[in-house]
Amino acid sequence: MPNRFRYKSAEELKSNARDLGFQLPWSDDFSNLFDSFQFGKLTVPNKFVVHPMEGFDSNPDGSPGDLTRRRYRRYAQGGSGLIWIEATSVTPDGRSNPAQLFINAKNQSEFSGLIDAIHNDSKLYGSQAGEVKTVIQLTHSGRYAKPEGKPAPLIDPSDDDLKRIRDAHIEGAILAEKAGFDAIDIKICHGYLLHELLFATDRMNTEFGGKELDKRIRIVEEIVKGIRETNRAEVVIRLNVFDGLEGGFGVSNNDAMSPDLTEVEEIIARMDDLGVSLWSITAGIPYLNPWIGRPFDLPAKNTSTAPEHPLVGINRLISLTHEVSKTTSVPVVGTGLSWLRQYFPFVAAGIIKENKAHAIGMGRLSFAYPDLPNDLFKNANVDAKKVCVACSGCTSRMREGLTAGCIIRDREVYA
């Protein structure tokens, strides 16, 4: 049977963590979540980050659809200081779904409209240091591409393929800055193309892969340099630091479930030198081991039950983020806390208090409870009847090619 969330009190939760061999960061004082933080030239009004979660609800041309705008307006109204727009393809063939966002010269104005809606609807509490900030995540889906709704994987791309995709990232970033985004995220996680290149140690006679990290990270370095040369927006990276799979990135050669952050730390140092100004840390490949990056009660359809307690996965993510934060002067965003439900703010505030991250991302939790920051500020607690229940219903909808959202808390749209 899966280890489901059945805690009646905070003490039960903390006691279970101790039984599993660790102590959760914890603070009964939430005020630090409403402090501002800075990355690059930007000041974010509080520590709440809406993390990128695809809704697969774009228009056919890749521009934001009605449900896309609805979701981001709800996030803005909910009070998060940094809103991270979901994975947006830089090429038509790189979409993982026919309704994935895709930014291009013909629809840039529609993305501008989305930014305007976010700013117009934003309701911020806390330090009030400026206005809501926005990031767009640029990506190519690689082996998970399904631009027409059926698999069209890009496997073992040529150097010419990769140079085309590199240039498309730089062009996408130019369009995003014109649209009004404050920062550009280069997606290097969850098994998609740029992440897969990090563990492509068997690629031979290529500029962008092989045994040497210099080659495996080259395309990212060239993208970052290209954006910095053509763009005033901040450059940020969402990075897989631990795949939890044999042959994956960030794992020990002797044990795939033991992290080895040697190459992670080198990449972070190199990217920091190039001007990357914010890191978002994640782990696992959702198609293969979703519990690593998104601890849950129930798995998505046609996926496996987790072989570990969700608290073990949460503790691993907290620890990995903390280790990364010790190697960089750039702010780091933590993740993976949605399973904690109404106890999320205690652990989030504890993480900030113990300097284990600079801000906290909410993925599935934002789907379910977009107004959590404002509720917490006004009521000094959150509503247990509005939290994510980690049922993986949103992921199941994604896998079925449907628009994604919370099937429990947003039933009128997604049930």
* pLDDT tens-digit map of 359-408: 999 999 999 999 999 999 999 999 999 999 999 999 999 989 899 999 99
pLDDT tens digits for 98-108? 999 999 999 99
* pLDDT at res. 26: 98
Q: What is the mean pLDDT of the segment spanning 15-43?
A: 97
Q: What percent of the chain has pLDDT over 90?
A: 95
At what angle are helices 159-179 and 108-121 packed, to 10 degrees? 50
Q: Which of 16, 23, 4, 20 is nearest to 347 (CA)?
A: 23
Residue 4 lies in a domain: no
pLDDT of 313 > 60? The answer is yes
**Average pLDDT score over the chain:** 96
* pLDDT at res. 205: 85
pLDDT of 129 > 70? The answer is no
- For 404, the domain range is 10-414
Q: What is the mean pLDDT of the segment spanning 43-49?
A: 96
Q: How far is the CA of 225 from the CAs of 42, 179, 234, 309, in angstroms? A: 20, 20, 12, 41
Token pair in block for residue 190: 């969850």
pLDDT of 2 > 70? The answer is no
pLDDT tens digits for 82-98? 999 999 999 999 999 99
* pLDDT at res. 128: 60
Alpha-carbon 92 to chain mean position: 22
Residue 269 DSSP one-character state: H
pLDDT of 125 > 90? The answer is no
- Helix (H) / strand (E) element for 137: namely strand 133-139
pTM of the predicted model over 0.95: yes
pLDDT of 1 > 50? The answer is no
What single letter denotes the amino acid at residue 216? R
Residue 351 lies in a domain: yes
Instruction: Output the CA torsion 124→125→128→130 (10° steps).
Output: -20
**Number of other CB atoms surrounding residue 95 within 10 Å:** 28
Q: What is the mean pLDDT of the segment spanning 68-72?
A: 98
pLDDT of 68 > 90? The answer is yes
Q: What is the mean pLDDT of the segment spanning 321-332?
A: 98
Residue 59 lies in a domain: yes
Confidence of residue 124 (pLDDT cuts 50, 70, 90): confident
pLDDT of 127 > 70? The answer is no
Q: What is the mean pLDDT of the segment spanning 211-216?
A: 95
Please give the angle made by the CA atoms of 227, 325 and 139, to the nearest 5 degrees.
Answer: 35
pLDDT of 123 > 60? The answer is yes
111: CATH? 3.20.20.70
Q: What is the mean pLDDT of the segment spanning 251-264?
A: 97
Q: What is the mean pLDDT of the segment spanning 308-319?
A: 98
Confidence of residue 287 (pLDDT cuts 50, 70, 90): very high
Residue 137 lies in a domain: yes
Residue 345 lies in a domain: yes
Residues 6+ apart with CB under 8 A from 283: 240, 241, 242, 243, 244, 250, 292, 293, 316, 317, 320, 336
> Domain tally for the chain?
1
Q: 3-class DSSP state for residue 123?
A: coil
Residue 80 lies in a domain: yes
Alpha carbon distance 239, 271 (integer Å): 11
Residue 67 lies in a domain: yes
Half-sphere CA count of 365, side-chain side, radius 13 A: 30
pLDDT tens digits for 143-154? 999 999 999 999
Residue 2 lies in a domain: no
pLDDT of 30 > 90? The answer is yes
